Amino acid sequence: MSQWRLALILVAGLAYAGLSHWMMLYHATAPWALAALFAPLWLAVLGLGASRFGWLGALMAVVLGGVLVWAISRGDAGSPNRLYVLQHVGINAVLCAWFASTLRPGRLSLIGEFAQRVHPLSADMRVYSGKVTAVWVGYFALMALLSVAVYLTMSFSAWSLLANVLTPLCVVTLFVGEHFMRYRLHPEFERYRLVDVLRVAMGGGRSDEAFRR
């Protein structure tokens, strides 16, 4: 992944975050807005269905997504705001459970699995990757709880700002901050470019010597 491509992904992500915030506030029930706003969850279900059940699973995900958008746009599924909150809380809860499930004794943590694609892990690196995984578990749990608290105690516009703008900014800040903090805490660790670490995290695989800077 080139630095230009990374920059384009970040710009596209920020644009989608801002657009999502606008759509939730002013076009919450419009079918086209519903399709765009539920796209992350729908794509996740589509990928899971296709990987588990092939083309039949993918077809089922497409049909279910269409039915959901149709039902919400007709008002048959209740307030779309509650569904948006449920999506945000659900995604963070699932990620929290996924990261936490890899912290069992004797197992390599999820961050450790990602790091191992970049380079072999020493004993200290395995311990450190477990601590980083625990930090992400805490982040996802906190974000899920904060999402519910803001929705119940503040305006929906405040919740939308949290879900669509602050959440992705917090993810980027935590990811980048950990990358640079790692070498302050462990200067002995081998250094790799942030752009290449991100490529591995996104499933791009390893490019061996190209990772080292």
What are the DSSP calls for 177-209, one per residue?
A: HHHHHHHHH-TTSPPB-HHHHHHHHTT----GG
Spell 41-77 as b/e; 16+ CB within 10 A means b. Answer: bbeebbeebbeeeeeebbeebeeebeebbeebbeeeb
Q: Which helix (H) or strand (E) holds 2?
A: none
pLDDT at 208: 45
Q: What parts of the chain have a pLDDT lower than 70?
A: 1-14, 28-29, 34-36, 41, 44-45, 47-49, 51-52, 68-69, 71-79, 188, 190-213
Burial class (CB in 10 A: 0-12, 13-18, 19+), 209: exposed
pLDDT digits (tens, 9 = 90+) for 13-43: 667 777 777 777 777 667 777 666 777 767 7
For the chain, domain boundaries: 79-211
CB contact at 8 A, 114 and 193:
no
